[in-house]
Amino acid sequence: MRTDGKSAGLAHEDAAALGGGRTGEVCAKTVAQGNDESEAACYNDAHRVNDGIASAFNWLDSKTIVTAAGSVSQADAGTIVTGEGGTTNAAGQGMTIWLTGLSGAGKSTIASLLTDRLNKLGIAAEWLDGDELRRILGKGLGFSREDRFENIRRAVYLAEMLNRHGVVAVVSLISPYTEMRDYARQTLPRFAEVYVDCPLEVCEARDVKGLYAKARRGEIPSFTGISDPYEVPPSPELTLNTAGQTPEENVNTLIAWLTEHTSLRLNK
Ligand SMILES: Nc1ncnc2c1ncn2[C@@H]1O[C@H](COP(=O)(O)OS(=O)(=O)O)[C@@H](OP(=O)(O)O)[C@H]1O
Ligand SMILES: Nc1ncnc2c1ncn2[C@@H]1O[C@H](COP(=O)(O)OP(=O)(O)O)[C@@H](O)[C@H]1O
C-alpha cells in the first residue's frame, strides 16, 4: 500500500498486505482454489478493512479534488466537511483518544458509546478495538511484549491515517506498557490517553469473556493482570473509574474533557 499520501484507495491486496486474518495468504490460497464461500469471506474481510480505512476519505470536503489517478488534495484547514453518514469534521480536527486498561475494565463499552455519541454530534469518529484489530489485522500476533508492541504499531498506523483526514480515532487496547503508549503519543499528532481504571478484582468478577477463570486455571499464559504486567499510566490526560460509575457517566466525563481541551465542536 502506498503510504506517501498519493493514493486514497486501498486495494484488496493492500488489505491483505496489512496481514489480516483471511485477507492474507489464506485468501490467496482460497481464491486460487476457487472455493466460492471462503472466497466471499475473504473479500468481506478485505472490505471490512477497506471500509474502516476508506471511511477516512468519506469526510473530505466539497473543495477536495479527487484526481483520476486517485490522488487527493485537501482544502483549507477549518472547512466544515460532510460525509455520507451526515457527520461533519473540520480539517485538522483528527485526533486519537486512546483507552487503556485491564481486560474487562470497560474500554470497549466506553469506546463504543463514545464513538456513537461523537457521530451523533456530527463528528466523524471510528472505533479501533483490540479484539477486532487482532481478528482482522493481527495475523500471527500473540501476547508477548514484542507482539503486543507490534499490535500497537498497527493500531497507531491506522489511527494516524484516520487522523490525517480529520477523523477521530477511538482506540481501545489493553496496551499494558508505558513505553508502547508513549510511542503512540509521540507518533500521533493529537493524542489523549484515557486510563480506564478498574480494580483487578472487579474485572475478574465481571469476567466478561471467561478469560480470567481460564487464566487462573493456567490455561492462558501471559494474561494481563494475572501472569503478565499492566503498567498503570503515570500521567494520563484523563482517568475514568468504571467500578463506581456507569458507562454513561464515564462518557459524559470524557465528552466534557474533550469540550474543554480540544477543538472538537461538541456543543451542538
Ligand atoms: N494473554 C492475554 N492477555 C490479555 N488479553 C488477552 C490475552 N489473551 C487473549 N486476550 C484477549 O485479547 C484482548 C486484548 O487484546 P489487545 O490487543 O487489547 O491487547 S494488547 O494491547 O496488545 O496488549 C482482550 O480483550 P479485552 O478483554 O477487550 O481487553 C482479551 O479478550
Ligand atoms: N462504568 C463502566 N464503564 C464500562 N463498562 C462498565 C462500567 N460499569 C460496568 N461495566 C461493565 O463492565 C464490562 C466491561 O467489558 P468491556 O467493555 O468488554 O471491557 P474491556 O474492553 O476493557 O475488556 C461490561 O460488561 C460493562 O457493561
Q: Which CATH fold would you assign to the domain 80-261? A: Rossmann fold (3.40.50)
Atom of ligand 2 nearest to the CA of 110: 4
* pLDDT for 93: 78
HSE-up (13 A, CA, CB side) for residue 226:
19
Q: Pocket of ligand 2, candidates 109, 201, 252: which has the most ligand atoms within 8 Å of its Cβ, to mutate?
A: 109
The candidate with the shortest Cα–Cα distance to 137, out of 125, 155, 149, is 155
- Phi, psi for 172 (deg, rounded to 5): -125, 100
The candidate with the shortest Cα–Cα distance to 24, out of 138, 100, 124, 128, is 138
Smallest CA separation from ligand 1 atom 1, residue: 223
* pLDDT for 73: 37
Distance from the alpha carbon of residue 215 to the mean position of ligand 2, in angstroms: 19
DSSP 3-state of 142 = coil
pLDDT by residue, tens only, the chain of 268 residues = 333 333 333 333 333 333 333 333 434 444 344 444 444 444 444 444 444 444 433 333 333 333 333 334 333 333 344 444 445 566 677 999 999 999 999 999 999 999 999 999 999 999 999 999 999 998 889 999 999 999 999 999 999 999 999 999 999 999 999 999 999 999 999 999 999 999 999 999 999 999 999 999 999 999 999 999 999 999 999 999 999 999 999 999 999 999 999 988 887 6
- CB burial of 222-232 (b: ≥16 within 10 Å; e: otherwise) equals ebbbbebebee
Nearest ligand, CA 106: 2
Smallest CA separation from ligand 1 atom 24, residue: 103
Distance from the alpha carbon of residue 230 to the mean position of ligand 1, in angstroms: 11
CB atoms within 10 A of CB 121: 17
- 100 close to ligand 2 (CB < 6 Angstrom): no
Nearest ligand, CA 251: 2
Tell me the residue type at 42.
C
Distance from the alpha carbon of residue 240 to the mean position of ligand 2, in angstroms: 12
- 209 close to ligand 1 (CB < 6 Angstrom): yes
Contacts of 179-183 with CB under 8 Å at 24 or more apart are: 179/149, 180/148, 180/149, 180/152, 181/98, 181/100, 181/152, 181/233, 183/149, 183/152, 183/153, 183/156
Smallest CA separation from ligand 1 atom 30, residue: 103
Distance from the alpha carbon of residue 205 to the mean position of ligand 2, in angstroms: 11
Smallest CA separation from ligand 1 atom 27, residue: 103
Annotated binding site for ATP: 101-108
- 220 close to ligand 1 (CB < 6 Angstrom): yes
- 88 close to ligand 1 (CB < 6 Angstrom): no
Residue spans per domain, the chain:
12-72, 80-261
Active site residues: 175
- 104 close to ligand 2 (CB < 6 Angstrom): yes
ipTM (interface pTM): 0.99
Q: How far apart are the first and last CA of the chain?
A: 38
